[in-house]
Chain A
């Protein structure tokens, strides 16, 4: 007879909230009449994610391992769960925007209808909206929150799949440019499956080497003779590959530009912000908890990957002409900056370096800014949907000063200009890395930031110092959800840049791993 493991329901409350909302959403999809489904689904998804946010905030200070040792509810897990739930709620608000697209939604009405068929053209302008995206996205959010709290590799793998599968689906649900969107979904799915296979293989090798999938047990085993041997090292390599794929770190980034461009923009915002947080949460936990004692094994590797990612992101971003692709390369470069923070581990037993707190702050700041930037992209439209080609943004500052100013703020934050959250985040991670002696890496990071600043500033120059094109795009008037998102993200970008003290402290205090 197998005994049920001890479960602390209180510690699991954030996960239960979000997964509960997702399950209810599936039921609503099946039983509620079509005309009330949209508001009900939005309400359930928001209640679930905000419930997750609130319950995780109530858990601040909690340190325990629960669910038979499968989940670690500690400072870092709670901070990241709250971040994911909050960013997820903002993304869901973008999903729910109905006043921008003439067809009332960014999502296709019936995803199964072949693109370009007569039925598709008919549905294109029909006021029907599709509501499966809400439970799907809620499941993904739940998976991400599970991902950052997973205390053994198997749970981590399950969470990886729970968060990935819905993302593959909703990437392919754009209402316009459907073929591009479907192509992106297929690419994402194939490569994601490939990456999962790496992760799973790594898991098997690690299990083979240590006889356990529990992170703490791996730590003990790897601290033993010769660091655990070839199997363990190979396993670590493959696990890292699987996770870095999700975090869109170069050289595992190839999917990012295509998928960011093809996916519906609210989904891109969701992926760019939440997936990044979740993936880095898992990377941090894996490296700090399971391989914390063999730091010198992975340190040179992360060092090198950080440089590659920053350089690839910054250099490739230079020649992009599509704003969504540009932000994708920006996301790759930011992944490199985040890895700089990961290196500020300090080698202490429980993460005495400031790297963990700094990286978590960076994730929060970057997530908020990037959601805001994608939200602005949804506003600027022409007859064919969103106008994301760079040239169409010429002179936007003259035509729509407020939109241009908001976008300029986000771009400055992404470039890391002082008095924006981006500067505080970069400062924190670079400082953590320097404290740990990685100043050559920080030097490279600063140079990469300078190169990347070029393409952010180019957009600002284009918006303010170019003549508007005659048949340029129009700027839609956002409805309540998008307005709300923009208000929150603008405020956060400025506040975290001007008075970051409180949140920095919070991240610093939350920088605790148990297990």
Chain B
């Protein structure tokens, strides 16, 4: 579909990025002077961006709008334009980022109230929102890449926000390095596009992708997928995401659950024209999604850290989204709908977890929780609604969107379709299990609190966003699938939806999923709810539990496969650097310095020798010219 030039408010959509960016700049450059009102400014810019984004979306009405900003470089054949693309897909993300972002900013006012570096926290959050908006609004891959790196930077800064804790500093480094691996893939994909097509704009690349050789398209698709896996915590780059929970909880809610980690899904959905050309890469996307959703679900069953359970749940749910977008045209809308509902309920769950931690003296160990339902009623109810939405309780958000993905998987019709659908249903059962376990260990049973902990409900500034997100968790699925179908809104991006031929009737799928979900809940009740929860984790457990506790040995694999060889490699390189490269560089520097002082001696200060050097130069010049003409 053609793009149209920007008009009305959409022409000002660059403000969406500029507002939070200005907020971050003021807060970082303003220093302590802004301590008193910094958090209000930070929240204000995001709220303003949300209002602007909403108005722009209302004006959009199914068009694709190109917003020309400025020409960065234009010399000869090199032409780098800076522009934004405001289309239904980016509009959806803008609303998610600014909407959930605004709520989490408000929540953070309360959550970070006693932190001496609260202003800095809001500055980084604003920086994140600006970078994330650039990521989804850019009209070319370079803008996307700048945003991609920007959110990576903000994520790094925020995971390490309490950098005095060694675990936080390590987690930030781990996230940064594993993201680098993915980013290299994205960068290579962009280089490859530029080398092959001479352009990096979406329109240019997608228009010409059909002319490329099949192998090239597959390579681009796989490299983009590598980037997406790094950012979204997908197999084999999933290990950083649970560790990233060392950051403050609002960060986990905004960046590591609702928005940044879904950037990979955005990338693949945005690059749909590329994946349409390469079934191989698409099959790999499917495989990555299926593997990850199982890994996340299994690991989530054995964690005792409330945030880690939610983190593995995020890994698993993004696996669902990858599975969906890997299915091709039938899956894009399902995946994006799940992304949006997940954004609501997972952000709500994290905020609830933050509220619990706030009450329990920053403890995250669920074995020391229990019986909080009566002490924290608002948190319990909002968290409970998020929980029901996540496990796919009928007619709540997750029910609509997860079922759609499973249906789409079955609709492939072949054996793979059944396998993927089966895996997805099984994971739905596991989801019900680990989330019910979390609910039971946190809110029910006998209190197992540490001495001196007095749980209390959080202040309104924190509970209000939780309530709003809970409302979203309940309604979003119905609104996006039934009332105002996302499918028709996204038609300008993905084309007219095909009427799917259902292999298994949707009703059967729903019933099956619901039954498996109920089984999961029941199992959790039998294993966790009926018995007393030991305060320390039992040591004598089955090998399966042990493997699940260690997240299927992902860290061990990374360590033995990459870290150790990497360390040997660095040692070898340091040796070569010290002996070889440094020697060459120092030698070169000494040579240059020596010749500099020797040459410097010609600068005697005497006019006569200067004149002589000029005369010599003139003779050489004349001689050379004569030689050239004579020769």
Q: Which residues of A contact B (CB under 8 A)?
A: 186-187, 190-191, 194-195, 198, 227, 230, 233-234, 236-238, 240-241, 245, 251-252, 254-255, 257-258, 296-298, 300-301, 304-305, 312, 315-319, 354, 424, 427-428, 431, 435, 451, 499-501, 504-505
- The answer to whether A319 and B596 have CB atoms under 8 Å apart is yes
On whether A505 and B607 interact (CB within 8 A), knowing A238-B622, A318-B596, A451-B592, the answer reads: no
List residues of B (72-92) whose CB comes within 8 Å of A's CBs: 72-76
- The answer to whether B74 and A241 have CB atoms under 8 Å apart is no
- The answer to whether A251 and B622 have CB atoms under 8 Å apart is no
Q: Which residues of B contact A (CB under 8 A)?
A: 70-76, 592-593, 595-597, 599-600, 602-603, 605, 607, 609-611, 613-614, 616-618, 620-622, 624-626, 628-629
Closest B-chain residue to A304, C-beta based? B624
A–B Cβ pairs within 8 angstroms, 14 of them: A190-B607, A191-B610, A227-B629, A230-B626, A237-B626, A238-B622, A252-B617, A254-B609, A301-B621, A315-B595, A315-B596, A316-B596, A316-B600, A451-B592
Q: Which of B595, B614, B616, B626 contacts A194 (CB 8 A)?
A: B614
Instruction: Report the Cα distance A254→B74, complex, angstroms.
Output: 38
Instruction: Report the Cα distance A348→B590, complex, angstroms.
Output: 44
The minimal Cβ–Cβ distance linking A456 to chain B, given in whole angstroms, is 15
On whether A194 and B592 interact (CB within 8 A), knowing A237-B618, A354-B76, the answer reads: no
Q: Which of B618, B626, B628 contacts A198 (CB 8 A)?
A: B618
Instruction: Report the Cα distance A198→B611, complex, angstroms.
Output: 12
Q: Which residues of A contact B629 (CB under 8 A)?
A: 227, 230, 233, 297
Closest A-chain residue to B82, C-beta based? A499
- The answer to whether A187 and B610 have CB atoms under 8 Å apart is yes
Closest B-chain residue to A357, C-beta based? B75
A interface: dominant SS: helix
On whether A315 and B599 interact (CB within 8 A), knowing A190-B607, A191-B614, A300-B624, the answer reads: yes
- The answer to whether A255 and B622 have CB atoms under 8 Å apart is no
Instruction: Report the Cα distance A191→B610, complex, angstroms.
Output: 8
- The answer to whether A297 and B625 have CB atoms under 8 Å apart is yes
Q: Which residues of B contact A305 (CB under 8 A)?
A: 621
Q: Which of A234, A241, A245 contacts B626 (CB 8 A)?
A: A234
Instruction: Report the Cα distance A241→B614, complex, angstroms.
Output: 8
- The answer to whether A300 and B628 have CB atoms under 8 Å apart is yes
Q: Which of A240, A255, A298, A499 contacts B610 (CB 8 A)?
A: A255
The minimal Cβ–Cβ distance linking B585 to chain A, given in whole angstroms, is 11
The minimal Cβ–Cβ distance linking A228 to chain B, given in whole angstroms, is 9
Q: Which residues of B contact A428 (CB under 8 A)?
A: 75
Closest B-chain residue to A299, C-beta based? B628
- The answer to whether A505 and B592 have CB atoms under 8 Å apart is no
On whether A501 and B611 interact (CB within 8 A), knowing A258-B605, A431-B76, the answer reads: no
Q: Which residues of A contact B605 (CB under 8 A)?
A: 258
- The answer to whether A195 and B614 have CB atoms under 8 Å apart is yes
Instruction: Report the Cα distance A236→B626, complex, angstroms.
Output: 10
Q: Which residues of B contact A500 (CB under 8 A)?
A: 73
Q: Which of B593, B614, B618, B620 contacts A254 (CB 8 A)?
A: B614
- The answer to whether B613 and A501 have CB atoms under 8 Å apart is no
Instruction: Report the Cα distance A323→B73, complex, angstroms.
Output: 33
Instruction: Report the Cα distance A297→B600, complex, angstroms.
Output: 32
Q: Which residues of A contact B621 (CB under 8 A)?
A: 237, 240-241, 301, 305
On whether A315 and B618 interact (CB within 8 A), knowing A237-B625, A504-B75, the answer reads: no
Instruction: Report the Cα distance A431→B78, complex, angstroms.
Output: 11
The minimal Cβ–Cβ distance linking A1 to chain B, given in whole angstroms, is 42
Closest B-chain residue to A358, C-beta based? B75
The minimal Cβ–Cβ distance linking A497 to chain B, given in whole angstroms, is 11
Q: Which residues of B contact A435 (CB under 8 A)?
A: 76
Q: Which residues of B contact A300 (CB under 8 A)?
A: 624, 628
- The answer to whether B611 and A191 have CB atoms under 8 Å apart is yes
The minimal Cβ–Cβ distance linking A312 to chain B, given in whole angstroms, is 7
Closest A-chain residue to B614, C-beta based? A252
The minimal Cβ–Cβ distance linking A300 to chain B, given in whole angstroms, is 6
Q: Which residues of B contact A316 (CB under 8 A)?
A: 596, 599-600, 603
Q: Which residues of A contact B609 (CB under 8 A)?
A: 254
Q: Which of B70, B595, B622 contacts A501 (CB 8 A)?
A: B70
Closest B-chain residue to A424, C-beta based? B73
Instruction: Report the Cα distance A245→B611, complex, angstroms.
Output: 11
Q: Which residues of B contact A501 (CB under 8 A)?
A: 70-74
On whether A241 and B617 interact (CB within 8 A), knowing A234-B625, A304-B624, A319-B596, the answer reads: yes
Q: Which of B71, B76, B599, B625 contacts A233 (CB 8 A)?
A: B625
- The answer to whether B617 and A431 have CB atoms under 8 Å apart is no
- The answer to whether A254 and B610 have CB atoms under 8 Å apart is yes
- The answer to whether B611 and A315 have CB atoms under 8 Å apart is no
- The answer to whether A194 and B611 have CB atoms under 8 Å apart is yes
Closest B-chain residue to A186, C-beta based? B607
The minimal Cβ–Cβ distance linking B211 to chain A, given in whole angstroms, is 27
Instruction: Report the Cα distance A55→B405, complex, angstroms.
Output: 70
The minimal Cβ–Cβ distance linking A420 to chain B, given in whole angstroms, is 14
Q: Which residues of A contact B625 (CB under 8 A)?
A: 233-234, 236-237, 297-298, 301
Q: Which residues of B contact A191 (CB under 8 A)?
A: 607, 610-611, 614
3 nearest A-B residue pairs (beta carbon): A251-B617, A254-B610, A237-B622
The minimal Cβ–Cβ distance linking B619 to chain A, given in whole angstroms, is 9
Closest A-chain residue to B597, C-beta based? A319
Q: Which residues of B contact A304 (CB under 8 A)?
A: 624
The minimal Cβ–Cβ distance linking B232 to chain A, given in whole angstroms, is 31
Instruction: Report the Cα distance A238→B624, complex, angstroms.
Output: 12
Closest B-chain residue to A193, C-beta based? B611
Q: Which residues of B contact A252 (CB under 8 A)?
A: 614, 617
- The answer to whether B599 and A245 have CB atoms under 8 Å apart is no
Q: Which residues of A contact B592 (CB under 8 A)?
A: 315, 318, 451
Instruction: Report the Cα distance A175→B221, complex, angstroms.
Output: 69
The minimal Cβ–Cβ distance linking A187 to chain B, given in whole angstroms, is 5
Closest A-chain residue to B70, C-beta based? A499
Closest B-chain residue to A227, C-beta based? B629
Instruction: Report the Cα distance A258→B603, complex, angstroms.
Output: 9
Q: Which residues of B contact A240 (CB under 8 A)?
A: 621
Q: Which residues of B contact A499 (CB under 8 A)?
A: 70-72
Closest A-chain residue to B604, C-beta based? A254
Instruction: Report the Cα distance A499→B72, complex, angstroms.
Output: 6
Q: Which residues of B contact A424 (CB under 8 A)?
A: 73
Instruction: Report the Cα distance A254→B599, complex, angstroms.
Output: 12
- The answer to whether A251 and B614 have CB atoms under 8 Å apart is yes
Q: Which residues of A contact B613 (CB under 8 A)?
A: 251, 254
Instruction: Report the Cα distance A240→B622, complex, angstroms.
Output: 10
Instruction: Report the Cα distance A300→B605, complex, angstroms.
Output: 31
The minimal Cβ–Cβ distance linking B82 to chain A, given in whole angstroms, is 9
Q: Which residues of B contact A245 (CB under 8 A)?
A: 614
Instruction: Report the Cα distance A22→B620, complex, angstroms.
Output: 40
Q: Which residues of B contact A190 (CB under 8 A)?
A: 607, 611
- The answer to whether A251 and B600 have CB atoms under 8 Å apart is no
Q: Which residues of A contact B607 (CB under 8 A)?
A: 186-187, 190-191
Instruction: Report the Cα distance A300→B14, complex, angstroms.
Output: 50
Instruction: Report the Cα distance A198→B615, complex, angstroms.
Output: 9
Q: Which of A240, A254, A297 has the most CB of B within 10 A?
A: A254
Closest B-chain residue to A305, C-beta based? B621
The minimal Cβ–Cβ distance linking B598 to chain A, given in whole angstroms, is 10
Q: Which residues of A contact B599 (CB under 8 A)?
A: 312, 315-316
Instruction: Report the Cα distance A254→B602, complex, angstroms.
Output: 9
The minimal Cβ–Cβ distance linking A417 to chain B, given in whole angstroms, is 16
Instruction: Report the Cα distance A258→B607, complex, angstroms.
Output: 10
Instruction: Report the Cα distance A435→B614, complex, angstroms.
Output: 32
Closest B-chain residue to A250, C-beta based? B617
- The answer to whether B628 and A301 have CB atoms under 8 Å apart is yes
Instruction: Report the Cα distance A315→B602, complex, angstroms.
Output: 13
On whether A241 and B618 interact (CB within 8 A), knowing A234-B625, A301-B625, the answer reads: yes
- The answer to whether A297 and B610 have CB atoms under 8 Å apart is no
Q: Which residues of B contact A318 (CB under 8 A)?
A: 592-593, 596
Instruction: Report the Cα distance A504→B625, complex, angstroms.
Output: 33
Q: Which of B611, B621, B624 has the most CB of A within 10 A?
A: B621
On whether A254 and B603 interact (CB within 8 A), knowing A233-B629, A234-B622, A241-B614, the answer reads: yes
The minimal Cβ–Cβ distance linking B601 to chain A, given in whole angstroms, is 10
